[in-house]
Each structure stands twice: as structure tokens, then as C-alpha cells.
A and B are shown apart, each in its own frame.
Chain A
């Protein structure tokens, strides 16, 4: 059976993607996904070559035919999103619900599908990758995340991969929910800052809410050892495993500038050794 884990962070910028990239290298036979569909970064470290592209059309948008419209303003009156004004329909505010289409007595409005992004299946040096790109400003990122995961499952089955590693999106809203639903394990990468701890707790609550087992990985732990200790104590109290601590090191940024996972860029660095240890802990717990 294919196992699936999602790396989360509550907030972006905790080094989640850098850690994920290295785990992808260590995993060998895994399918890797980038579930951060509005600002994906993982491809910059894994350099995928696209094999398949798929258009993603989820949302619709209302369009008025100005020749038929007699300006009765019924649509404006009923639109709850304030998307219709005398200037026409604001596609940013329009949610594509179709109420205006329904109330228009002259059938002057229709809903049109909009292309909201693209999904890709790619090949990397370290395995297959499922990823996507949401068009700037589009909604429905949750649905695109679901598509990314569906594609990953398909290729995992076809290629007999026993693990899927998802690089999760930031936050705790719809895309994150879509990236953790039904996975075997959620790993939260946290920095020892007050806001980091706050975000970790919210991410843990989320995993709890969906009954997904959680582990915590502390990045840049030596930035504030007191906070690191607090994280460890908090996790102990709440029976959450801390799978490892990674020191603060500019090697992460150097690897990023070089466009490589840190474990390839500096295999014998302290950072890489810490990540290897984390990987051992994770694999033990999902066996």
C-alpha cells in the first residue's frame, strides 16, 4: 500500500520546502508533490522536466452580454458578493454561483468556465513529481491541491512507489485541508520563534481535527534555545514526537541559490546529518 505524508509549517518560510527536497532525495522510490499551488517553490530545488500538462478549470465566472442587457439591475440586487455594478461584472469578486444568471429575465448573463491553472506530472532526478500552478489571483486552490494529490496517487500506483511526500501549502485554510485529508502522517516544520510556536499549535489542532498523526521537526533550533525547549516540552505534554532539530546555517540559502536540495549540495554538513536522522525517525514511524 502506498503511504502518504505531508510536510506542513503553519506559516511559510520555516524551511519546509528545503527540508522536503532533502527528504525526497533520501526517500528514493517516492512520488513527490508540491501542494503549494499558488506559490510553488519545490521545482527550483528538484528541477523537474515536465512530462504531462493538464488544464485546470474549476471555477466559473459570469459574463454579461451588453447587447441583450437592458440595465434592469436585478442581477446587481441579488448578487451577494458585490461583484456586479454599473460598470459590469468584477471577475475578482464574482464567485461563479449563478444567481445572476437565474434572476436575469432576458437571459443576458451566462457562466463561463475559466482556466484557473495547470497541473503537471514531471520527472526529476529523484523520482516522479506531481505539481501545479494556479493562475495569479485565482481561487479554488484547494481543488487544485486535490488534483495534484490524485495525479500523484495515479503515478505512484503505476510505478509501484510505496510513498508519496507532499510539500504542503502554508496556513490552515482550504488548500492545507486538501493537502492533509487522509494522509498517514503530518510533519510540522517549526522555527523556535513565538509566532512559529503559535502557528505550530494551530497546525497541530488542524491535524488533530482531521485525526491525522503528527510529528514536529524544529528548524534553526539554535536561534532561540529557550523556545526550542518550550516546543519540546509542549510536544511531550501533548504526546507529539519531535523527530529532529536542524541547526541554523546559511548552507540552506547557498543550496537554494545553487538550485539543489541541501543534502546534495552539502551531504556531510551538520544540516544534512540532522535531516538524515529525521528521515530515519520518520520511516520508522510509518513502517
Chain B
């Protein structure tokens, strides 16, 4: 079963939930799809056993063959090509690697080359198989790297995916085709606002979901009312606790210091499995 942990906005405790859930289950693989700011490994300190580069394909123009007709640039939806009288400029950060320019060039002047956009790191910590991506700084496109991380999914394991914040393309590609999504939120107006947007995305994607309320009791009750009204189960409440915050600031997942929480996470996973059937 593949469970994604998402939150709309960062800072609600999404990574904490993903890591603590992973630590509470057996036979787990944890994928950190927050490739812009992967944090799960900071809490887990894995021994990295494998690092591999992730590439995207970008066009290369052979100046010998090119007649500067401009067809390629005209085709490119993303303005990644610019044809001047005596040269063709390629803007690799804009290229979506669709291969279209290569198709439309009647002079066979275009080939493709690999460009490194980031790395995938694999490791193990506390019996958790961890996979995470790291996007190169200055690189705009996270989605190809997220897809590469997801290509590492091991279906024979309990898979937990830590999704990136936001509700745009990065979240969508992380949660696409997963079995269940846990939304971590705070009971505040900001939390509710972001939750509503994320719920909309998941409904569009048809992914079943439940909510974990973190730092319960800090704000107001509107998140609870909203979940009831939308029929979204509240899977767990994590109280605001100085101890949890302090453990987090030192990079310690709270289930390691407060083992009674392991049970709660295991129970939650069973509940999720039950409503799957």
C-alpha cells in the first residue's frame, strides 16, 4: 500500500508525520518527494548506499546541418529555443524534454543530450529504506526528479511518500496513483485555508484521504467543522507539546523518545487499510 503524506503548506509537521509513521511500521520504504527541500533524512540519518544522477534530455543543434529555418523554435511551446540568422540558442531550464523539436526538424539537425537536474540518494536507517531526491539549486523543474524518485517504489513494502508543500504540479505528481493521502494540518485559519485547496486537488485526482491535526488546540475549531461537513475522517490529533517541538529541533523523531505513539501510528495505518477495502 502506498500512503502519501501531504499538507498544502510546509511547516505543518508533514515530514514529522511521515517519518514517525515510517518508524512505527514494519517493512517500510520512505520516499521523500520534497526534492526542493528534502528533510526526512535529517531526522533519520541514513547510511547512504547509493547516489545516482537524474537527467533530463535537452536538444543539441548541429550547426553543420541546421539551415536556420526556425521550425523548431516555432514548435516549442515553452520558448526553449530561439533561432537567430546564424545560430540557434537553447535554454535548457525551459525545455520540457518533449522531443518535438527533433521531430519537426526536416534537416535532422537536432539530437538530444542528457543534462543533470539532480540526484537520487538511497539509504537505510532503522530498517527503513529511504529514497530521496535533491534538485540542483537553480533548477526550475522538480517534476522529472519526483517521477524518478517514484520510479524507485518497491510495491512489496509499506510505502510512505513525503510530498512537497503546495498544491501545484509537484504535489500532483507526488500523490498521483497512490492509494491514500494523509493531510497534515493545523487548526488555524491558515491551516484550514490550505487544507481546503489540497482537498480539492485530491478530489480531482480521486485519491481517498484523511486528516491529521497537528498542534491540536493552538487555534480554533473550524478545521474540525470543515472535515465533518466534507466527510473527511480525522485520523489522529497530535497535541502541541514543547517536548515534541524540542525533539524536532534537534532532529529526533518523537516516536523514538515517546514509544507509546508507535501504537497510535500502527492503529492509524490499520484504519486506513480497512477503509481501503
Contact = CB atoms under 8 A, between A and B. Distances in A.
B100 A102 contact: yes
Given A44-B189, A44-B193, A136-B197, A95 B248 contact: no
A94 to B, nearest CB: 11
A27 interface: no
Contacts of B219: 253, 256-257
Contacts of B141: 173-174
B169 to A, nearest CB: 4
Most buried by B among A11, A137, A205, A259: A137
A97 B77 CA distance: 6
A102 B74 CA distance: 12
A60 B96 CA distance: 14
B170 to A, nearest CB: 7
Interface in A158-189: 169-177
A11 B165 contact: yes
Interface in B197-229: 197-198, 200-201, 204-205, 218-220
A223 B37 contact: no
Interface of B: 8-12, 15, 36-37, 39, 42-43, 75, 77-78, 96-100, 103-104, 135, 137-143, 164-172, 176, 188-190, 193-194, 197-198, 200-201, 204-205, 218-220, 245-246, 248-251
A60 B77 contact: yes
A137 B249 contact: no
Contact of A224 (B8, B142, B220, B249): B249
Contact of A136 (B15, B204, B250): B204
Contacts of B200: 136-137
A144 to B, nearest CB: 9
Given A10-B37, A11-B10, A102-B103, A172 B197 contact: no
A138 B168 CA distance: 5
Given A11-B165, A12-B165, A102 B104 contact: yes
A173 B36 contact: yes
Contacts of A205: 137
A193 to B, nearest CB: 4
B137 A170 contact: no
Contacts of A80: 97-99
A130 interface: no
Contacts of B138: 177, 206, 209-210
A97 B171 contact: no
A194 B249 contact: yes
Contact of B189 (A39, A199, A209, A256): A256
A39 B165 contact: yes
Contacts of B142: 171, 173-174
A171 B140 contact: no
A157 B253 CA distance: 49
Contacts of B164: 171
Interface of A: 9-14, 17, 38-39, 41, 44, 60, 78, 80-81, 92-93, 95-99, 102-103, 111, 134, 136-142, 169-177, 191-196, 198-199, 202, 205-206, 209-210, 223-224, 227, 250, 253, 256-257, 259
A12 B100 contact: no
Given A174-B141, A195-B39, A223 B166 contact: no
Contact of B197 (A38, A60, A97, A206): A38
B166 A92 contact: no
A139 B189 contact: no
Nearest to A199: B37
B153 to A, nearest CB: 15
A186 to B, nearest CB: 14
11 contacts: A13-B9, A137-B169, A139-B168, A139-B169, A170-B10, A173-B36, A173-B135, A194-B250, A198-B39, A202-B137, A224-B250
A44 to B, nearest CB: 5
Nearest to A103: B103
Contacts of A44: 189-190, 193
Nearest to A37: B168
A223 B249 contact: yes
Contacts of B135: 172-173
Contacts of B250: 194, 224
B166 A170 contact: yes
Most buried by A among B36, B167, B194: B36
Contact of B251 (A170, A195, A210): A195
B45 to A, nearest CB: 10
A197 B223 CA distance: 30
A114 B171 CA distance: 19
Nearest to B242: A223
A41 B97 CA distance: 34
Given A136-B201, A256-B190, A92 B10 contact: no
Nearest to A93: B176
A137 B205 contact: yes
Given A41-B9, A44-B193, A259-B189, A171 B36 contact: yes
